[in-house]
Amino acid sequence: MAKSTFKYILLTILCQVFTAMTLVTAQNIRPVIAGDFADPSVIRKGNEYFAIGTSSEWAPHFPIFKSANMKDWKQTGYVFDKAPDWTSGSFWAPEYYFHNNTYFIYYTARRKSDNVSYIGVATSQFPDKGFKDHGIIIEYGKEAIDAFVYNDNGQLYITWKAYGLDTRPIEILGSKLSASGLLLEGETFSLLKDEPRIGLEGQSILKKGDYYYLFYSAGNCCGVNCDYNVRIARSKNFKGPYELYEKNPALQENAEWKCSGHGTFVNTPEGKTYYLYHAYNKASTVFTGRQGMLAELIWPENNGWPLFKEQSADVKSNDFKDSFTAKTPAISWQWDFRNATPVVKQQKGNLHLSGEVKKGNGAGVVLTQRPAAASYEMSTTVVNKNDALKGLAIYGDANAAIGIGVIGDKIEYWVIKDNNRNVLGTAPLTSKINPVSLKISAQADMTCKVYWTQTPGEWKELTSEAEQSIKFLPPWDRSPRAGLNFSGIPDQEAVFSSFELTYK
């Protein structure tokens, strides 16, 4: 064999091996915060890290997670248990900042008076509790979203996205920020303009050497057809002009994840820099939402452009099981605050659920968990009897839900789609005494099956005339949630003795 032929074959084999290794690496990347956790912002306090993310229309608002290593996270709180008076919804893109021994959260929400998205600010002496709202800090044009704060040699600046709802190019705008962190000062200026208009938001700024590096997200952020990615520009002046990186995008899809974007940076005590951002899993997409991902930022020695090195969480179970023995409900429960006001309490190993619903909400009160995968089973046991519906539901919003429950002396399998509620199937109870256990199995093909029993271990499937697709469930910017369901008059309630959410 000629040496040239041998070299060619060897080179081909090495390329194939390298490609295979690359694909395996990409396919083994796991989120550090699984489930819907879009637009994350991260901060370090000593040797602990705190992360906050978008909550959109779920309450409580802006979930907060804590970690000792940035790969194992546990939820510890929320910014707001109750929506600030000026807001109506769309709680997006919170930004952490620490200044003057105070924790600031600059967040986006819709103003109640005109439904326009602006930026508010809240403060606390703690990173994960006790936040006090100070109202709107940035009211600008038809929309001001995605705040980011930067300290340039003692001068605070705040930046944001503007003109996203206008016909003109989107821009990242900036302004000086007062020492209190609560007021804008001076004239607004433009850092970067979106020409041609492809998208520009979710900015974060770092200084390295002589340059300010502006990291931003471009493209369509959300939904099955998203094409989000992270790009870089740099300038020797904070206000610009900024030079675009010729090899953009710097962080984009791989074999398993797509639409990477909208993150912030944090430095470790050892001097490494990490980027916490979100991405969709290609298999489950909107059913698990934009999940919390991690990448290390690598700086070349020649003052060149930085590179992202994607990280992966360790293998761990995301199963959630609760026997309701604690004094208070688990912190991870959320609900659609626009359409229901739940009343939740735990007593003697039972969770009691009731509450009021908005007119036209046929789904009732749904107390939900964030799914970490599209394929899962959830189950519960209902221990009380009345004429209210008590059971399980997969909930997108008040007009897109599916569930199974016990009502009176029967089991009911129901769906809400296109503003219509239909009963898919019923079955009579076999005992007037025994508790009723219920189960929903969500499949990887976006269908679901429901089961019930009054004899432990003997599940009975309740079928409908056709296989039930749940592809209609996801709203635009958030994943459907799985959880407990109550629908009845205010003096009724559902009482549950257990809840399990396990992944296949």
Active site residues: 39, 201
Structure tokens at 398: 């008040």
Task: Report the DSSP beta bridge partners of residue 130.
Answer: none
Nearest to 442 by CA among 476, 488, 494, 402: 402
Contact 176, 201 (CB under 8 A): no
Contact 438, 452 (CB under 8 A): yes
Sign of CA dihedral 159, 160, 161, 162: negative
Contact 186, 175 (CB under 8 A): yes
**Which helix (H) or strand (E) is 11 found in, with range?**
helix 3-27
The residue ranges of DSSP E strands in 348-399, in sequence order, are 350-357, 365-369, 376-382, 389-397
Contact 110, 116 (CB under 8 A): yes
DSSP-derived pairing of the beta strands 144-152 and 41-45: unpaired
Which position has the token pair 């974060």? Answer: 204
Contact 105, 96 (CB under 8 A): yes
Nearest to 262 by CA among 95, 481, 474, 80: 95
Distance of CA 265 to the CA centre of its chain: 18
The residue ranges of DSSP E strands in 100-170, in sequence order, are 102-111, 117-124, 132-138, 144-152, 155-162
Measured in degrees and rounded to the nearest 5, phi and psi for residue 8 equal: -65, -45
Which position has the token pair 């900036």? Answer: 174
**How many CB atoms sit inside 10 A of residue 266's CB?**
20
